[in-house]
Amino acid sequence: MLNSSLRALASALAQRQVSSVELTRAYLARIERLNPRLNAFVTVDPEASLAQARAADQRLARSEAGPLTGIPVAHKDIFCAKGWRTTCGSKMLANFVAPYDAHVVERLNAAGMVSLGKTNMDEFAMGSSNETSHFGPVRNPWALDRVPGGSSGGSACAVAARLAPAATGTDTGGSIRQPAALCGISGLKPTYGLVSRYGMIAFASSLDQGGPMARSAEDLALLLNAMAGFDPRDSTSLEREPEDYTRHLDNPLEGVRLGLPREYFAEGVAPEVARTVEQAVAVFRELGCETVEVSLPNMELSVPVYYVLAPAEASSNLARYDGVRYGYRTPQYRDLLDMYMKTRAEGFGAEVKRRILIGTYVLSHGYYDAYYLQAQKLRRLIAQDFRRAFERCDLLLGPTSPTTAFPLGSRLSDPVQMYLSDIFTIAVNLAGLPGLSIPAGFDAEGLPVGLQIIGNYFAEARMLNAAHQYQRLTDWHQRVPPGIEEG
């Protein structure tokens, strides 16, 4: 069962080959056994999970089940879940219990999925390696001395290590796609506004987007069917007719035009990553795709633009953590101002403080026009580059990350090097486009390489079709980290 697709699990549940309670217990047992060395989960509540599983079994018995009913899922600890500790990987919220469900959690609960627990993440989603978490780093199941990527590293690790068949994640600058690539799973960042941000603890509101993480494109399509939908509580949620994201999965790719941005195949990409991506492109050609070279000339500006805009929004969003109403409060203080200062100094980690300082600086009087306003203008140019590229092609293809998983601790002292881990993913968020990462092979050390597929706005079904057809010819998404199966 541990290597079954979501569709296969749904079939087994429907045919009473296994119950949701049995399936949930199997995953909880693996979490108990393997999590101490992986650190993928920060909160597990077996009683709550099994109660949901029993309710799912009752729905199955009444023949009221949907395609996801009874299937376990892990939630990134950035999503509020009623009655569950929701920490955002931080000391500031280490003991916060959410009083309501995020929209994503609501939707998956309504679909009958069973919450296994909350997964580890970089503090307030700020990081590319899952090393800034207050609860310690997550370890990559393919090599325990390597990072899993971030900030959704706990979710990626959980799926790769078969601690969960699926997970939720969020993507602000690549935080679903990059850990998916480094852990050898599939991850989708939808079009901005397609999945509600209600109840998703904010980092950078114009960039944040929730999405699914699973083993295959087919699994992602099933999850997105449940997650996507209009939510009036989120002012950026898009009101669109519901889609079935599985509808194009089996379409042939004959004549599909794939754009290969020259900037994604330039210097800075590890040779083995570049070679693996080129081999994946060859598979798509076998499937009947045409390839065309395109250019995204302003892509090199995406990292500096992102690290002006995202910290600026973070500076504003994180102002609410002052120790007054909820979250951490310093135990000793003289007056209200002293409490504010000590609470934030003690409650935030180094990377979060760094970004708050940068964001406050670029928004300050005298620097707003020079930095923040200029970054917004460049953001528009980056989006226009994608628009021109999609006039010549249907989808864009390239590496998700310039390297495979790097050693734990190797980039913590060099923030710029860490930020460059997301050089191929950030532009997608700045433009609000959908992006998808799927496994495409391994390097000489046995570490996964991710292939990124980028689509135009609302092209999720077409992207998932391309990924599914690729996965029908390859088995990279079915590979299991050595030693994990025996667990």
368-381 pLDDT tens trace: 999 999 999 999 99
Cα–Cα nearest to 238, from 198, 207, 199, 192: 192
Computed over every residue of the chain, the mean pLDDT equals: 97
Domains of the chain, by residue range, sit at: 6-257
| Catalytic one of 20, 49, 129, 151 | 151
427: tokens are 């532009």
Specify whether the CB–CB gap between 142 and 180 falls below 8 A: no
The model carries a pTM of 0.97
Q: What pairs with residue 398 in β-bridges? A: 452
Taking 70 as the threshold, does the pLDDT of residue 487 lie above it?
Answer: no
Cα distances (angstroms) measured from residue 308 to each of 14, 76, 124, 301, 367: 50, 25, 17, 11, 11
* Helix/strand/coil for 114: strand
| The pLDDT value given to residue 434 | 98
Distance CA 103, CA 109 (A): 10
Q: What proportion of the chain, given as a percentage, has pLDDT over 70?
A: 99
User: Cβ atoms within 10 A of the Cβ of 327, count?
Assistant: 20
| Catalytic one of 49, 76, 129, 237 | 76
Q: Is 19 a catalytic residue?
A: no
Residue 203 binned pLDDT confidence (cut-offs 50, 70, 90): very high
Q: What is the pLDDT of residues 427-440, one digit of tens each?
A: 999 999 999 999 99
| The pLDDT value given to residue 484 | 80
Residues 15-22 have a mean pLDDT of 97
392: tokens are 């010549």
**How far is Cα of residue 280 from the mean position of the Cα atoms in its chain?**
22
82: tokens are 């009623």
Q: What is the pLDDT of residues 146-175, one digit of tens each?
A: 999 999 999 999 999 999 999 999 999 999
Cα distances (angstroms) measured from residue 212 to each of 18, 150, 220, 335, 448: 24, 15, 6, 44, 19
Distance CA 122, CA 138 (A): 9
Q: What is the pLDDT of residues 402-429, one digit of tens each?
A: 999 999 999 998 888 898 889 999 999 9
> Residue 52 corresponds to which amino acid?
Q
Q: What is the pLDDT of residues 207-264, one digit of tens each?
A: 999 999 999 999 999 999 999 999 999 999 999 999 999 999 999 999 999 999 999 9
Residues 345-360 have a mean pLDDT of 97
* Backbone torsion region of residue 432, taken as left when φ is above 0, otherwise alpha when ψ lies between -120 and 50, otherwise beta: left
Topology of 6-257 in CATH? Amidase signature (AS) enzymes (3.90.1300)
Residue 8 binned pLDDT confidence (cut-offs 50, 70, 90): very high
Buried b (16+ CB within 10 A) or exposed e, 174-185: bbbbbbbbbbbb
Residues 95-106 have a mean pLDDT of 98
Q: What is the pLDDT of residues 41-97, one digit of tens each?
A: 999 999 999 999 999 999 999 999 999 999 999 999 999 999 999 999 999 999 999
| The pLDDT value given to residue 127 | 95
Give 398's contacts (C-beta < 8 A, 6+ positions apart).
260, 261, 264, 265, 277, 424, 451, 452, 454
Q: Is 151 a catalytic residue?
A: yes
Give 460's contacts (C-beta < 8 A, 6+ positions apart).
188, 190, 191, 194, 224, 243, 245, 434
Quickly list DSSP for 224-246.
Answer: HHHH----TTSTT--------TT
17: tokens are 């080959």
Q: Is 189 a catalytic residue?
A: no
| Catalytic one of 19, 49, 133, 175 | 175
